[in-house]
Amino acid sequence: MEKPTHTQVIGITSGKPGVGKTTVSVNLAVALHDMGYSVMILDANTSAANAQTALGSICPFKLEDFFSGKKSLQDIILKRRYGIQLIAGATAVHDMATLSADQSKRTLEAFSALEEHLDFLIVDMPPGTEMSILAFMASTSRRFIVVRNDASGITDAYAMIKTLCSDYQLDEIYLIINGAHSDEEGQKVFDHLNLISTKFLQRSLHYLGCLKQDELIREASVHHQAITEHAPTSTGARDIRHLAHTTSTIALENYLEGGIAHFMQKLFHLNSRGPK
């Protein structure tokens, strides 16, 4: 299996809460690990410890313990089921904007040390278009936006896409359609958003795929299991494996920007300047 040349930092968010963003983040991480990749999740969701809960655990230490100097980065990394590494960073979105120069240097050095042993860093972001959230998304190598096929879901997703494209001049935006009734419906939702993005923002979007409706996904979440473990032959498991395969494929494409050090440096820079 070919590995990426540097850690792929992927931000996963949505235009609004309740669209299954964390379910996608955790299941994608597990599926990538099952393929042989080393994966870490940074749970940066400010409202709840969603990724931790989904993995059936609560981290005893959080990113703020590292920022304060109480713990090293290795101290706060929790190695969980499926081999997934986890960092709880609920306040990271806001803390990163207020770090001192010494704290920023320590953070850059500590996270950069992970590069050699990590293929994917998945950042489970809060939903919405708050500036600090968008700065995080703008700093990642690739941005995955989870979209539900309903009027408000599509509207909110477009608002986020518009801000990322217009204010931050970004590309590498990938859409995951969650809860579609069929592959054709998922493709139709993507085509609609891509059409208006191309027309009004002069930006083409990328389609990662869809996660079709499957009650077994909800059932797996209740049991704090990945869908690939709970129901390995289900529609949801097949869809997640497809998303993981596509993610691994784009990770091998030539891409000038990437790696954890680049992610951190860009994040510090954007927090100091704001959007363009």
Structure tokens at 192: 């609609």
Q: How far apart are CA 137 and CA 164, in angstroms?
A: 8
At residue 195's C-alpha, the angle toward residues 191 and 197, to 5°, is 115
Query: In angstroms, what CA-CA distances link 265 with 5, 34, 152, 176, 255?
Result: 19, 30, 34, 27, 17
Q: Classify 220 as helix, strand or coil.
A: helix
Picking from 242, 24, 10, 44, the residue whose alpha carbon sits closest to that of residue 148 is 24
d(C-alpha 126, C-alpha 60), whole Å: 21
33-57 tens-digit pLDDT: 999 999 999 988 765 557 777 777 7
Question: Exposed, middle or buried by CB within 10 Å (0-12, 13-18, 19+), for 115?
Answer: middle
In tens, the pLDDT along 151-193 reads 888 999 999 999 999 888 888 899 999 999 999 999 999 999 9
| Homologous superfamily in CATH for domain 8-271 | P-loop containing nucleotide triphosphate hydrolases (3.40.50.300)
Quick one: average pLDDT of 55-83?
Answer: 86
Q: Please report, for the chain, the start and end positions of each structural domain, with discontinuous segments joined by +.
A: 8-271
Q: 257 pLDDT exceeds 70?
A: no
**Average model confidence (pLDDT) across the chain:** 88
Q: Are 226 and 232 in contact (CB under 8 A)?
A: no
By the 10 Å C-beta count (0-12 exposed, 13-18 middle, 19+ buried), 253 is classed as exposed
